[in-house]
Structure 1
Amino acid sequence: MFNSHEFFKQRLSAHMKELSRYLRYMFNGHLMIALFFFISVVAVYYQQWLAQLSEDFPTSLIIGALLGLLVSYSPVRTLLKEPDLVFLIAAESKMNAYFRNSLIYSFVIQLYVILLVVAALGPLYFAEFPDRSGNMYLLTIAIVLLFKVGNLIANWWMLKVREPGIRQVDLTVRTLLNITVFYFIIQGNMLMAGITTVLFTGVFLYDLNVSRKQPGVVWDLLVEKDQIRMQSFYRIANMFADVPHLKNRIKKRQWLVSMVSRLPFTQSHTFDYLYRITFVRSGDYLGMYIRLIIIGGLFIYFIPNVWVQILFVILFLYLSCFQMMTLYQHHRTTMWLDIYPVGKAYRQQSLVKLLFQLTLFQTVLFSLLFLFMQEYAGFVIALVSGTVFTFMFINGYVKSKLV
C-alpha cells in the first residue's frame, strides 16, 4: 500500500544527498575566507554607522519593509519531479501526508534566513528604540514566525490556482499588508497593526475559500516551480563544480552579440568568439558579472576608509574572476568542439584573455569610482593594485586550473 509519508522521507533523503554533494565544493576555503572578510568588515562599519544614526532615519519603515518581504517570500518546496506527473497523479488522494511534510520542510529550511535577518536588524532596532526591552523584540520575532507560517500556507493554497494573474495579485496584496503590519509593530502603533492583521486574516480566509473551489492539485505547476528553484541552485553550484543536471538558458541579446563578436575570421580566434557569445548569452554569466560590479561599487562608495575600499576592490575582482572561470567547462558536453581543427592551447589562451579583459574593465570602473569620490590617491592605488592582482591571479591560479 502506498505510504506518502515514507515516500516523502525517501525523496527528502535523496534531495539532501544531492545538495550536500555540491555544498562541499561551494563552501571551500576560498569562499570561506572571502565571506569571513566580508562579514567582518560589514559588522565593523555597521556598528560605526549605528553610532551616528540620525533621529530622522526611517527605521520603522526599513525594518517593517524587510520583515514584510521576508514573510511574503515563502515558497513551498514539494521535491516533485517530472515522472511524478505520470506516476503520482493517480495517488493524489493519498498525498496529504506528503504535502504536509513539504510545508513543514519548507518552513524549516527558511528559518535560517529569518534568523539571519532578525539578528542583523536587532542592533538597528535597539539603536533606534533604546528604551524598549529585549522581550519586545522577541515578541516581534514570534509574530514574524507566525506570519511566515500564514504566508506559507496561503502560498500553498494559491498553488492550486492555475491562473498566474490571480496568484500574482494575491501575493502583491499580502506583501503590502505584511509590510504595513510590521511597520506599525516596529513603530509601536499596536491598534493599526491589529487592524491590518484583521485585513490580512481576511485575505488568508479568501485564499482558503478559493483553494477549496479548485478541482485538485496543479501537478505541472508544482513540478515547474520546484525545477526552477533547483536550477537556480545548480547555476550557483556550477560556479564551483561541474553540474550535469544544469539546463543552460540561452538568451538572444543580438545587439550585445554583434558588439562582442567582431573578431578576425581565423582559427586562433575560434574560442575567442565562442567564449564571448557564451558570456553574453548563456547561463547567468553577464548578470552575475554586472551584479558583482554594482555590489562592489556600493561597498566601495559607502565605506569611509580608503584601505578597506582597496581590499573590497581586490575581493570583488577575485570573486568575478573566480566565478567566470566556469566558462571553460561550460561546453564540456558539446562533442563537436572536439572536431575543431584548433589546438587546446588556443582554448586556454582565449579564456585567459577574456578573463583578463573582464577583470581589467572592472578594475577601471572601480578606479573611476574613486575619482568620482575625489579620492585621487585611491584612484591610483586601486588601478595599480587591481591590475597587478589581475595579472598575478590569472597567470598564477587560473592557468593552473585550466587543464
Structure 2
Amino acid sequence: MSTAPRFDIDTATFWADPYPALARMRKEAPIAFVPQLGSTLLCRRNDIFVSEKQIDVFSSHQPQGLMNRLMGHNMMRKDGAAHMAERHAIAPAVSPRAVRVHWLAQFQAHADRLIDALDPAAEIDLVRDFALPFSAECLKLITGLTNMRFEDMNAWSQAMIDGIANYTGDPAVEARCNAATSGIDAAIDDMLPVLEKHPNQSLLGVMLAGGMPMDSVRANIKLAISGGQNEPRDAIAGTVWALLLHPEQLALAVNGEVRWLQVFEEYARWISPIGMSPRRIARPWSIRDVAFEPDERVFLMFGSANRDEAYFTDPDRFDIRRDVSKSIAFGAGPHFCAGAWASRAMIADVALPTLFARLQNLRLREAESARIGGWAFRGLLNLPVTWDATRH
C-alpha cells in the first residue's frame, strides 16, 4: 500500500457529485488512498499529466484488472509496442481522414432522421430520444456491428461500464457485464461472413483485414463500445443542458462567435464524461512524500485534473470562452483517446449545431428536472426539453 494519507468518502454522495470531495483532496491530500474505492487517487493535473506518460511506472497492463477479466485484453490495457501495434491497426477506421471521408455524412444522416422523428408535443427526453440513439447508431457504423439494435449497443455499453467500475464486487453487476460481452461476441460472429464478402473501413473490418488475432479483435471491439457509446451520448446531452442553463453562452455559439468544438471541449473539461482511468504501479516509485509499491492500483482522476485551480480560473464555472488547452479530458499520454476525432465530429460537427439549428427555441421543460450522476463515468440520466417548431 502507498504511504498516501487516507481520505474517506461516502460512495453515494461521491456518485451524485464527486467535485466537492475532489476539490478537498486537491487542497488537502492531492494523492490520497480512498479505502471505499480500494485505490490511491491522483487528483492534481500536473501529477496526472506527468504520470500518465511514465508507462514504466504507471502501467496500463493490469492482468488481474476488471477490464481484462470481463472484456478481454484490449489495447487500452497494453503499453509500449504492443499498444502501438493495435493502435496503428485501427487507425484506418478512426483517423481524422477516415472520419471525414467515411463517417461524417452518415453521422449527419442519422442526426437528421432522429430529429425528424421528434415531436415537440410529446414529452421528449433528449438523452433517450436523441443523444442515446444517435451515439449508438454512429457507433454501429464505426465498429461494423450494423446488425445490432441501437438499444442493445447502449445497454451493453452501460453493462460493461458498470462491470469495469464494479470495485465493490456486486455479483449482479458482473452478471450483466458477462451477458453484454456474450451478446457482442455473437454480433461479431454474425458479421464475420458479411465482412469477408464486403470489406469496409469499420473497426471490425480493418482489424480483420490486418490479420489481428481474433481474441484481440473481440477485446478491442468491446473497448470501443464501452467508451464509444457513453462519452458522446453524455457529452451531447450534457453540453445541450449546460448551454440551456447559460443562454448568454448559447447565443455566442449559435451566432458563431465561439466554435462548437470549443463549446464541447469546455463541457468535457467542466464535467468530464470519462472522469478516471486506472493504472497499476509497475515498480517502486515516489511522488514528493508519497511512496508506491509494485502492483498497487491507482486512479488518474481526469475529472479532478480538469478543475485544478492551478490551471483553470474559477474551475467550477462553465465558460465556453475559456482557454481549454490544458484540459486532459481525452487523456494526456500514449493512451490519448483513439476515438477522439470521431467523437468531436459526432458532437461538434453534427449533433450540437444540428439540434440548435433545427429545434426552434429549444429549452428545458420546467415540469421535470434533469438528473446527473457518476464519477468514473459521469453524465445526464435524463434531459426533458421542448421547443416551438422543427426547421428543415
TM-score normalised to structure 1 length: 0.25
- The structure, 1 or 2, with the larger RCO (C-alpha pairs under 8 Å, 6+ apart) is 2
Q: Which has the higher helix share?
A: 1
TM-score with structure 2 length normalisation? 0.26
